[in-house]
Amino acid sequence: MCKRSILTIIAVAILALAIGPVQAATVTVPNGSFEEIYKPGSTTITADIGDGWTNGVGPDTPMESGQTAAYSDGTTGTVVDVPGWINTPGWPPSYAWPVGCGSIAGQNPTPDGVYYYTVNGGGWGNGQGGTIVSAESLGNVTGGVYTLSMIARGVDTPPATPVVLELLADGVALTPASSVDPVLSDDWQDFSRTYDAASLAGHIGESLTIQLGVGSDAIGAQSLFDLVTLDFESGDPTLPDVDAGPDMITWSGQKVELDPNVVNNDVTPLTYLWSAAPAAGVVFGPNAYIEAPTVTITKPALILTSISINNAGFETPVLADGAATSTPPAWTDGYYNVAEPGVWVVGDAETGAYNPVAGADYNGVAPEGKNVMYATSGVGFDRGMSQVLSAKLEANTQYILSVLVGNPFLFNGSTAAGNYRIELLAGGVLLKSDTGASPANDKTWKTASLTYDSGAGPVQLGQALAIRLVAVNFTNGKGVDFDDVKLTAEGPAPDPYVVTLTLSVNNEGSPPEKAVIDKLAIDVYDDACLAAKAAGLGPDNPGDFDGDCITDGNDLAELAAKWLTGDALTVPIPKP
């Protein structure tokens, strides 16, 4: 399961002298992907920690209490070696752990291998946060440019912060020239720090190490870190200077002349690539591979968006195989009494989330992630869970709610489950529901869905949307399971419709990751008149009665209709 990396540091300074003034190289970060885990004292017998987690990193790292690791020699144990990293000296252990303030774990999907480093925040009882540092020096500081990168994602809302990613020289954090720090979400994102000559001044020859994790006074739930890399470019910087041009205002279907400013800096011929987000309806002319193309953007009538649902797959909290919780974060349990079908009562619903175990329901495999939600039916009651979303009900919008529905067949005594119901609400008022039979057994999951069209003037316009997942009135104790909740909205494109253009400029023959990029935003309106008004350029024309930015026969007709219509008083009136 574990991968092994070559623990080699490239002699970048020697390469720079031998090959030319500017050379890129990679400083290998030992165990930068956290895939190397071994039986203590060995570098060949690997350790598989399964769905468990460690208390810290480094040699002789204990597993969480009650957990064991499986070694590749067929034995098991409660201690592993995590090479390449150590717990930051002086940082107190988390919870009641003997050592460590973060974990190596593998319960969540990662783009790189199986394992990652994870730290909890104050929201999960670990306000001190936690960080790790390189176990040994990565080499000495050399003149040039270093780029330190990693990927990170959050678990639950909000994730654990502040994020720490630092390059240390003799144990002291260097000041980066620039940083990339996106807002943590439930998607893996790139974080980076770039260190130039000014950052390295006074530190040449000092020992390099890396520190990462979550800083002290941590807030939020949990954050995950993976794929730590360190790149180096020697010599004088010779990358081009790139300015994509000013932000623009235009209208749908109008050609825009782009005006970037790119300075070559006497390097080899440059290559250009323009891209757009969203890309639909965007055309570069004559193509996207020249420095200054034109761009024509056709504003779509409708756009499809995915509405954020917290803990949509019930993956928080992390649960061991066969374990369950009655309180998955972001969801609230409740029920309907069939005698009062429109009244949702919060609490006491016999619902929660669990991680199916091999040999039992679904043979231990969830359709998405590891956990699923369960709702237990009862005579006279519809039981389930609910979540109020941050999204509000919009007009002229079509909403599609979809959920996977399962029958925990063995739990149900190898019999049928009750019916399910999924509901979409706004302001606590039911908009649409879908009721149906659960699958006959646990061999398949069923996709339940509903579609709701809000129309031009919905009564609950602007009120918060909500979702409810319910096991319908049935035999006491029969379960219905849910997973992978999704909600999309297709509605009118906003005015303005904002398109971001990215200009990527590279030295001919260099890899794409070395490109210099810059961006500009274009606000696209329905027509030229709206664009002019948005820019504050609409003329103060008293003759434009209909406000269409032109004085024409329509305005004359409107004037004629009001001709000799007076607003003067005809008799005295009391003073207001």
Residues in the chain: 576
Give 23's pLDDT tier (boundaries 50, 70, 90): low
Q: Is 567 left (phi over 0), alpha (psi -120 to 50) or beta?
A: alpha
Q: Of 38-42, 207-211, 461-465, 560-564, where does mean pLDDT reach its minimum?
A: 560-564
Residue 143 CA to residue 566 CA, distance in Å, equals 81
**Please, are residues 165 and 151 in contact by the beta-carbon 8 Å criterion?**
no
- Binned at pLDDT 50, 70 and 90, residue 240 comes out as confident
Higher pLDDT, 227 or 234: 227
Which has the minimum average pLDDT: 249-253, 261-265, 549-553?
549-553
State the pLDDT at residue 238.
Answer: 60
Q: Are strands 103-105 and 116-120 parallel, antiparallel or unpaired?
A: antiparallel
Which residue bears the tokens 């919009």? 394
Report how far residue 506's alpha carbon sits from residue 271's, in angstroms, rounded to the nearest whole number. Answer: 5
In whole angstroms, give the CA distance from residue 151 to residue 33. 10
Residue 423 confidence (pLDDT): 98
CATH number of 241-301+496-525: 2.60.40.10
Fold of domain 12-234 = Jelly Rolls (2.60.120)
Check residue 260 and give its pLDDT.
96
100-115 average pLDDT score: 90
Dihedral sign for Cα 147, 153, 158, 163, please: negative
Q: What pLDDT score does 280 carry?
A: 92
Q: Which of the residue ranges 128-132, 232-236, 495-499 would you say has the lowest mean pLDDT?
A: 232-236
Q: Which residue has the higher pLDDT, 54 or 556?
A: 54
Q: How far apart are CA 234 and CA 139, in angstroms?
A: 14
DSSP string, 252-310: TT-EEE---EEE-TT-SPEEEEEEEES-TTEEEES-SSSSS-EEEE---SEEEEEPP-T
Does the CA dihedral 106-107-108-113 come out positive or negative?
A: positive
Listed in order, the ranges of the chain carrying CATH 2.60.120.260 are 12-234
- 109, 153 Cβ separation under 8 angstroms: no
Start-end ranges of CATH 2.60.40.10 in the chain? 241-301+496-525
Single out the residue of 448, 408, 416, 415 nearest to residue 432, CA to CA: 448
Out of 266-270, 402-406, 546-550, the most confident range is 402-406
Check residue 227 and give its pLDDT: 97
Contacts of residue 24, defined as CB under 8 A and 6 or more positions apart, other chains included, come to 231, 232, 233, 514
Average pLDDT across the chain, whole number: 89
Residue 548 has pLDDT above 90, yes or no: no
Whether 505 and 242 have beta carbons less than 8 Å apart is answered as yes
Q: Is 403 a residue whose pLDDT tops 50?
A: yes
State the average pLDDT over residues 366-372.
95
The C-alpha atoms of residue 546 and residue 542 are separated, in whole angstroms, by 10
User: What is the rounded end-to-end Cα distance, in angstroms, of the chain?
Assistant: 84
Phi, psi (degrees; rounded to nearest 5) at 561: -65, -25
In sequence order, the 6+-apart residues with CB closer than 8 A to the CB of 79 are 40, 60, 61, 62, 63, 69
pLDDT above 70: residue 445:
yes
Task: Please tell me whether residue 70 adopts helix, strand or coil conformation.
Answer: strand
Write the CA distances from 496 to 299, 525, 531, 534, integer angstroms.
9, 5, 8, 9
Lowest mean pLDDT of 264-273, 302-311, 365-374, 450-459, name the range: 264-273
pLDDT score at 235: 53
Q: Give the DSSP H/E element, type plus range, for residue 198.
A: helix 197-200
Q: Please report which confidence band the pLDDT of residue 540 belongs to, taking 50, 70 and 90 as the band edges.
A: low
Give 102's DSSP letter: S
Q: Which pLDDT score is estimated for 371?
A: 96
- Where are the extended beta strands (E) located within 170-243? 172-173, 178-180, 189-195, 208-219, 222-234, 241-243
Task: Please return the burial class of 499, using the count of CB atoms within 10 Å of its CB with bins 0-12, 13-18 and 19+.
Answer: buried
116 pLDDT above the threshold of 80: yes
Structural tokens at position 393: 């009900």
413-438: pLDDT as tens digits: 888 788 999 999 999 999 999 999 99
pLDDT at 539: 58
Element of type H or E holding 431: strand 429-437
Per-residue pLDDT for 7 more than 80? no
The ranges of the chain annotated as CATH 2.60.120.430 are 324-492
Instruction: Report the run of H or E that residue 63 belongs to, with start and end.
Output: none
User: Which pLDDT value is given to residue 323?
Assistant: 93
Of the given ranges (4-13, 240-249, 308-317), which has the lowest mean pLDDT? 4-13
Mean pLDDT across 508-535? 84
Output the pLDDT for position 513. 65
Domain 324-492: give its CATH architecture: Sandwich (2.60)
Q: Is the pLDDT of residue 106 over 60?
A: yes
CA pair distance 10, 29, nearest whole angstrom? 11
Per-residue pLDDT at 377: 86
| Mean pLDDT value across residues 452-478 | 93
The pTM for the full model equals 0.54
51 sits in the region (left: phi over 0; alpha: psi -120 to 50; else beta) called alpha
The predicted model gives 511-533 an average pLDDT of 87
pLDDT exceeds cutoff 70 at 6: no
- The pLDDT assigned to 72 comes to 96
How is the beta sheet containing 516-525 ordered, strand by strand?
248-251, 516-525, 497-507, 270-277
Average pLDDT over residues 169-198: 94
Residue 195 CA to residue 199 CA, distance in Å, equals 5
Question: Rounded to the nearest 10 degrees, how much is the dihedral formed by the CA atoms of 182, 184, 188, 193?
Answer: 40
Query: Residue 13 pLDDT > 80, yes or no?
Result: no
pLDDT band at 9 (very low <50, low <70, confident <90, very high): very low
